[in-house]
Each structure stands twice: as C-alpha cells, then as structure tokens.
Amino acid sequence: MAKYKLEYIWLDGYTPVPNLRSKTQIKEFASFPTLEQLPLWGFDGSSTQQAEGRSSDCMLKPVAIFPDATRKNGALVMCEVMMPDGVTPHPSNGRATILDDPGAWFGFEQEYFLYQDGRPLGFPADGYPAPQGPYYTGVGYKNVGDIARQIVEEHLDLCLDAGINHEGINAEVAKGQWEFQIFGKGSKRCADEIWVARYILNRLCEKYGIDVEYHCKPIKGDWNGSGMHANFSTEYLRTKGGKAYFEALMAAFGEHCEEHIAVYGPDNHLRLTGLHETQSIDKFSYGVADRGASVRVPHSFVQNDYKGYLEDRRPNSQGDPYQIASRILKTIALVPTP
C-alpha cells in the first residue's frame, strides 16, 4: 500500500466569478485510485462564501481524477460542492445543472494574460509595447519573451501528463496573451478539464512570481480582449443536422441571447463591442467563417449538409465552463429534432 496525496479541487461561492480552492488529503491505496474509491470530504463553507459560520459544513464529491506529475503519488481530484447530506448539490454547483448528454461534445479555447508587477508580460513599466500585429502565433524574444514560452510549455506538459485532453497552445493577439484548447466528449468532461487545467496553470505560475489574468478586457484601448470560445456539437448535429434544423437552432440562440450573455462571463460588455473580432453584446448574428459574428459557422459544417460543430464566440475568458455548457445545452434542448 502506498500513501497518495489527493488534491481535492473545487469552486467557491464567490460571484460573479468563482475561485479555485484546494486542499490535500492523504489516503492509502494499492495502486493509483479510481474515482469510485475516493471518499466525500468536508470543508468549511463559511470561509468560501458557501455557508454561514453557525452551520458551516459543505461536502466535496469527487467527479474526475488526474495524475499529478508534480508530486510523488499525487492526484488532482476535481469535485462538486454538495450540501452536508452529500447528495444535494450546493446552490453554487453549476456542474449539477448540466444536462447529462454523452453525445454532447465541447471544445473550449481558453485565452488569458500572464501578468507580472501589475502589467502583462512584455509591457514596459510605463506606456505600451508596439501595437498588435506580430504577437499572434509570434516567435522571438521581442514578440513572446522567454519566461512566457517556458511557462506555457511546462503547463502543456503537466496537462498531458495528467491525461487532460489538451489540444494545443499559441501566443495570442495581444502581447503577454496566450491560449490553450481542450476538447472533451460528454457534456461535462471538457468543463472539468478546463477547470483542472486552470488550476495547474495557476499553481505553476506561483514558482515564477507570475499571475494569470483571466479578465476578459484587462487592457483598455486597441488591444484584444480574452475569450473562451465554445465549440459544441450534439450527436444529432453531427449525424443528421440539416439547414432547417440549423436555422431553428440559431433562432433559439438569438431568442435566448440575454440568458447566454448572463452566464458567459462578467464585464463582457467591455469585450463584446463589435470590434476586435467580436459582435456587439446586444446583438446576435451568425456567419460562415465570420469571426465578428456571435456564432461562427465553419465552412466544413455547410459543406457537410449543415452537420458538424459550431463555435459560440461570446463566452469570455473568465466564464465558468460549467454554466456555459449548461446554457448551450438548455437552448439546444428547446429545438425539436425532425
């Protein structure tokens, strides 16, 4: 039997953006534990805005487990927050609101800035660097620096070692801005993995004295904001689809635009301005290969008789992928299939 370090990770009750929290539990197992072997574990909800001090117990329910390459016998355990009975989801538990659909696939594109001394990496102490242009997918010290590349490469390796379905990285449009992409089959898997990947990145940056800035528009002016574009499909959309169904789906997305924006991340009005590859926050549009639309429709989707995946470009980098996936699936469920 070996002693395993189980890092239980959860989302606290802060609004509008929950924070990641974690604590370590030591348990003995004959080999790397399965999800079914992991126990519920309590925590003080009064310290995370999830309970009052006079009745502070909340429970952590493991929902996904990943090897932790930074620790001997380490494991990263993503958890849902439950009420003291261990059965009832806590009101802050966005994951519990997702329709359980194994045929739903999501791919999230997580953008973020790396910050040091209160400004993006590569920004001078006063003023701004050269305008946007060479930074997107850029190479070379003047475009991406050195420590940023080191961090994102190390983050990529840690995610792959953990078994996260990490699909790629790239430098983004603004200096100091980066992106990683994660894909998952099943309505909850990708969101679980985005949260664990965020946790790994935040923890990694501790040793470099770097902060991860997820705010969707940390730099005002002519600089791109940060999004978390949501690529999505269902089994029906991939195998049946059709122009009539697609148009009905887009009509539903337009009709429920406000409900989507409400969970697509705070301060999105600063990012969704109609500029910098966005549609205005008060409008809904879709278009083939249109990065200025609310929903981008890939050429391959149309060429395949309106079958495949779609990209909702409105979610921002600070959004909760649980709530985003939940809202997208609720809107899709409103559209009858022929």
What's the chain's length in residues?
Answer: 338
Give pLDDT, residue 154: 98
Give pLDDT, residue 44: 97
Mean pLDDT calculated for residue range 180-205: 98
Mean pLDDT calculated for residue range 40-56: 95
53 CA to centre of own chain: 31
**Helix or strand or coil: residue 211?**
strand
Report which of residues 43 and 276 the model is more confident about: 43
How far apart (Å, rounded) are the C-alpha atoms in residues 158 and 144? 21
pLDDT-above-70 percentage for the chain: 100
Residue 331 — very low, low, confident or very high, per pLDDT cuts 50/70/90? very high
* 106, 37 contact by CB (below 8 A): no
Q: Which helix (H) or strand (E) holds 324?
A: helix 321-333
Residue 227 has pLDDT above 90, yes or no: yes
Give pLDDT, residue 188: 98
* 29, 4 contact by CB (below 8 A): yes
* Per-residue pLDDT tens digits for 305-327: 999 999 999 999 999 999 999 99
Give pLDDT, residue 338: 80
Report which of residues 275 and 188 the model is more confident about: 188
What φ, ψ does residue 184 adopt, rounded to 5°?
-150, 140
What DSSP state is assigned to residue 203?
H
Give pLDDT, residue 53: 86
How far apart (Å, rounded) are the C-alpha atoms in residues 86 and 58? 8
Min mean pLDDT across 28-42, 160-174, 274-288 is at: 274-288
Residue 145 has pLDDT above 90, yes or no: no
Mean pLDDT calculated for residue range 190-199: 98
Residue 146 has pLDDT above 90, yes or no: no
Give pLDDT, residue 276: 81
Cross-sheet strand order for the sheet of 20-29: 20-29, 2-11, 74-82, 57-68, 41-44
Cβ atoms within 10 A of the Cβ of 299, count?
Answer: 10
The separation between the first and the last C-alpha atoms of the chain, rounded to the nearest angstrom, is: 55
**In 93-242, which residue ranges form alpha helices assigned H by DSSP?**
141-144, 147-162, 189-206, 235-239
Cβ atoms within 10 A of the Cβ of 281, count?
Answer: 19
Give pLDDT, residue 210: 97
Cβ atoms within 10 A of the Cβ of 185, count?
Answer: 13
Give pLDDT, residue 277: 84
Give pLDDT, residue 97: 97
Pairing of strands 177-185, 211-213: unpaired
* 279, 314 contact by CB (below 8 A): yes
How far apart (Å, rounded) are the C-alpha atoms in residues 33 and 67? 10
Residue 12 — very low, low, confident or very high, per pLDDT cuts 50/70/90? very high
Q: Which domains does the chain have, with CATH numbers?
A: 2-93 (3.10.20.70), 105-333 (3.30.590.10)
Residue 275 has pLDDT above 90, yes or no: no
* Per-residue pLDDT tens digits for 79-135: 999 999 999 999 999 999 999 999 999 999 999 999 999 999 999 999 999 999 999
